[in-house]
Structure 1
Amino acid sequence: MTPSSVSDGLPLPRRYGAIAAIALGLTMAVLDGAIANVALPTIARDLHASPAASIWIVNAYQLAIIVSLLSLSFLGDILGYRRIYQAGLVMFTFTSLFCALSDSLSMLTFARVLQGFGGAALMSVNTALIRIIYPQRQLGRGMAINSLIVAVSTAAGPTVAAAILSIASWKWLFFINVPVGFIAFWLALRFLPDNLQKAKGQRFDIPSAVMNALTFGLLLSALSGMAQGSPLWLIVVQLLALMIIGTLFIRRQLSMEFPLLPVDLLRLPIFSLSIGTSVCSFTAQMLAMVSLPFYLQNVLERDEVATGLLLTPWPLATMVFAPIAGRLIERYHAGLLGGIGLMMFAGGLFALALLPTSPSDLDIIWRMMLCGAGFGLFQSPNNHTIISSAPRQRSGGASGMLGTARLLGQTTGAALVAMMFNLFGDSGTHASLIAAGIFSSVAAAISLTRMSQQRPDAAG
């Protein structure tokens, strides 16, 4: 394969195989972040663990991803995105088997940490690989597929988990990854391209990696602590440590030619505005998706199956609009598309907050569809802007920041839901939806300001 063939994307038969490898790996990694929530009560009973202790089954996975994502994307720039992705597939597949065979909470938690590192490898370089797989003029279509997978996997997690648990034990939430992982690895070996424009002179800085892990780990821990009512002194200690280590981390990055945290990319206005838009939008998404099942089951007294069906119009609408947005980005500015999509999203969220006391299924469904359509219209152009505004040899750093922004938003949103229920009790869902609408409105405003910025050079 010649460098020119890489810069122009892969030929069509091979491109399909490469995208299938990306789609399968990313679906597993994102889905496993959301799928365990529904099974927590069942897992806790089976492993004789308390509900509070079982939360670590979810937290361990998220924590491992967020502390390692940027380090792995940095290694992708040095070693090659294909190598990092393939290593991630191997680790994720075998640690999924480890999870399924676990017979104690401590064993499962440890397995989830290792699985999180594998998931981080998949998430850290997937968009960087898409930039190589697709011709530059069609990059928006590749980003649409990526956005579609992330949005649908996140939103559909509870529904998929409920379906599996209705016919099998919780262990099959993890067993199912093994055959899928082997198929994805075979596709990755056969079809994924390498990045021939690897960063020259770039070296991995271990102190930066340690400070990065501590910074994001402390942030996640403090957010979770505030949401779950941890002792005030512990939260204060974590925030102080976060401020000290985070300041030292950023100062070190500013002095480096090739920073682990891509502060050089954050100096690009269109890149930093797009990252801010992503954080706010995913915060809004998680505020809604985590709180709505409580409303549907506890207030409207719908069962798990009905709840899953009522949530389904959201990912279905995203499936329709994400590919449309991927094509529109070839003609219209991402700031405009994102602004319109996020205003639709905000409208759907506020409409959900204003549901009548006894809503019909149709009342809920059209609001869910509006949320999903708006999110689908926003996400593809936003991801396209993030990845294409970075120099090609820094695609790994841009991909890592994209994933980090999503995880920060989702973690913040989930923590805010817990806080809303602690503050407002039975009205927690209503408060969460109002907060989600506000976050989406802020994201729309940020997105529209990007229209004053020049679109990323098509030469990338």
Structure 2
Amino acid sequence: MNNKTNITNNDIKEKANIQNNSKSYKNKWIMLGVLVTQPFMACIDGSIINVALPTIRENLGITMSSAEWIVSSYLIVISAAILIFGRLGDLKSKSKVFLKGILVFVLGSLFCSLSPNIELLVISRIIQAIGAAMIMATNQGLIADIFPLNERGKALGISGSFVALGSILGPALGGAIISYLSWHFIFLINIPIGLIAYFIGMKTLPVKESNSDETMDKIGATVFVLSILFLFTSILLSQNLGFKNIFIISGLVMGIIFLIIFLIIESKVDKPMLDLSLFKVSSFSINLVCAFISFATINAINIILPFYFTDILKYTPAGISVLMLFNPIVLLFVAPLSGALSDKIGSKKLTLLGLFGTTSIIFGMSFLNEYSTKLHIILLLSLLGLSSGIFNSPNTNIVMSSVPKDKLGIAGSTNALIRNLGLAFGVSLSTSILYSRMSRLAGYRVLEAIPGKDYIFVYGMKGVYITLSIVCLCAFLLSLIDKLKTSKNNKSV
């Protein structure tokens, strides 16, 4: 958050206690080391599983559509459970939920490594996802709780770097494991990392027991889970069935109905699972929307590019993996710098710069074609990593600094949920636009590149990137309007 603007009463109290906060947590950087293991483990796990899916499919004798549920079940369960654990963190203790989440994640990883068939593997992934949801729901809140306002951006930036580092190491590590060991070992690497983080966390993380007599809104939680299950399952299945399929339409409608019922319940109960009053804070709401758009956009690009590299430019898998590293490598170095800079000059300026950069670069990617060079692609991906690194940490800083301390758990879990929704939506949006435009030009239903007709894929891809750049521009304008409105309000005070 800009220190000259958007300052809430909570921020003023925090600024007054920065010195006390620093004295209270002398081991805060060790605590951060524990807390960043979650995004690191999750990103390694996510990128490794993608590399290993073809091998798992062959080893278990299953179809590709069945193998996709190894990934999809994990994503759906995290999204369904994350708000519940965020609320539990606020009601009980964020540290306790976080630490128990590590143990559940480790246990799920062990079960995954021992799974002899697809059924047990998916069940094990669900257990793993419950642990991941417990960790994701609380780690941002713990970072915001432990670090004072003038160091929070730097801490969140370091967390963002570990996200990039996990993305970088995952494919290389996965490739080595698949080449020399069984696929079961891709899950075993989570166990030592998780156990080390757990035992250090037990010694260092502050355990603050809540004195509140509030209880979990069980009805609201149940309705929310149903909403997410219908929405996410429909979105993920739409990649193969299309949005016009009657089952997809029915699932989306049911998900929206349950979501509306959930919002009605939360607006009427005394102690809601999700405090809707948080969304009245413009900085919180607008930056969540921007995070959703940013993650949807980046994931859409990550889905389209491998097909473009393989089918159109005819690059080898090794060459593709090298090209895809440029984005996270730049992000790895930029994220902590951006976070630290946001502590000094304010977060809003950096989020605007990041969104504008992302918009411009994605529009530039719409000019990629059958003749684009590696140097051109590397430049675009590096600039995309730069823009993402500039945006992510300050954006999270604004979200987490715009709520009271007793709402940090639910704010962090809401932020993580929005990002997961963005990831899923980005995949569906990009593939739907791509296949729709390709089918229109080809004159029949198309679900992959057509040999000898590269121009059809390029035409579809161009439409995806133009659409994404327009969506990113809307996010930039929305954020700019919020910045100007807040500045005007502060001047009038």
Q: Same fold (TM over 0.5)?
A: yes
Determine whether 1:450 maps to 2:482. Answer: yes
Deviation per CA, 1:416-440: give whole Å up to 9, x if none.
Answer: 2332343225324444333332332
Give, in whole Å, the separation in 1 of the partners of 2:23 and 2:132: 25
> What does 1:425-440 align with in structure 2 at a 5 Å threshold?
425-426=448-449, 427=457, 428-440=460-472
> What does 1:331-410 align with in structure 2 at a 5 Å threshold?
331-410=344-423
**2:344 is paired with a residue of what secondary structure?**
coil
Query: 1:212 deviation in Å?
Result: 1.1
Contact in 2 for aligned 1:282/1:409 (Cα 8 Å):
yes
Give, in whole Å, the separation in 2 of the partners of 1:141 and 1:307: 32
Determine whether 1:411 maps to 2:443. Answer: no
Deviation per CA, 1:141-173: give whole Å up to 9, x if none.
Answer: 111122233355457644543344333332221
What does residue 193 of structure 2 align with?
180
Deviation per CA, 1:278-321: give whole Å up to 9, x if none.
Answer: 10110001001111111112211111221111111111111222
Contact in 2 for aligned 1:102/1:108 (Cα 8 Å):
yes
Contact in 2 for aligned 1:90/1:181 (Cα 8 Å):
yes
Amino acid at match of 1:446: L
Determine whether 1:54 maps to 2:67. Answer: yes
Deviation per CA, 1:392-444: give whole Å up to 9, x if none.
Answer: 01000110111011101001011223323432253244443333323322222
**1:94 is paired with a residue of what secondary structure?**
helix
Q: 1:183 to 1:10 in 2, by over 3 A?
A: farther
Instruction: Give the structure-2-normalised TM-score.
Output: 0.86
**2:36 is paired with a residue of what secondary structure?**
helix
**1:274 is paired with a residue of what secondary structure?**
helix
Give, in whole Å, the separation in 2 of the partners of 1:199 and 1:416: 44
Give, in whole Å, the separation in 1 of the partners of 2:19 and 2:72: 38
Deviation per CA, 1:101-147: give whole Å up to 9, x if none.
Answer: 11100010000011000010110011111012212211111111222
What does residue 229 of structure 1 align with?
241
Instruction: Give the structure-1-normalised TM-score.
Output: 0.92
Larger radius of gyration: 2
Give, in whole Å, the separation in 1 of the partners of 2:311 and 2:272: 48
Choose from 120, 130, 134 the match for 2:143: 130
Q: 1:173 to 1:437 in 2, by over 3 A?
A: farther
RMSD: 2.3
Query: 1:325 deviation in Å?
Result: 1.3
Q: Which runs of 5+ in 1 are unaligned?
A: none
Contact in 2 for aligned 1:288/1:436 (Cα 8 Å):
no
Determine whether 1:308 maps to 2:352. Answer: no
**2:343 is paired with a residue of what secondary structure?**
coil
Give the stretch that moved more between structures: 393-402 or 421-430.
421-430
Contact in 2 for aligned 1:283/1:409 (Cα 8 Å):
yes
Contact in 2 for aligned 1:148/1:322 (Cα 8 Å):
yes
Deviation per CA, 1:40-62: give whole Å up to 9, x if none.
Answer: 11111101111111111001100
Determine whether 1:291 maps to 2:301. Answer: no
What does residue 216 of structure 1 align with?
228
Contact in 1 for aligned 2:48/2:173 (Cα 8 Å):
yes
Contact in 2 for aligned 1:155/1:315 (Cα 8 Å):
yes
**1:384 is paired with a residue of what secondary structure?**
helix
Deviation per CA, 1:213-255: give whole Å up to 9, x if none.
Answer: 1111111112123222167221222122123211111001111
* Number of aligned positions between the proteins: 452
Query: 1:277 deviation in Å?
Result: 0.5
Q: 1:199 to 1:64 in 2, by over 3 A?
A: farther
Determine whether 1:79 maps to 2:92. Answer: yes
Amino acid at match of 1:139: R
Determine whether 1:322 maps to 2:335. Answer: yes
Give the stretch that moved more between structures: 135-144 or 403-412.
135-144
Q: 1:453 to 1:151 in 2, by over 3 A?
A: farther
Choose from 39, 44, 48 the match for 1:26: 39
Query: 1:88 deviation in Å?
Result: 0.5
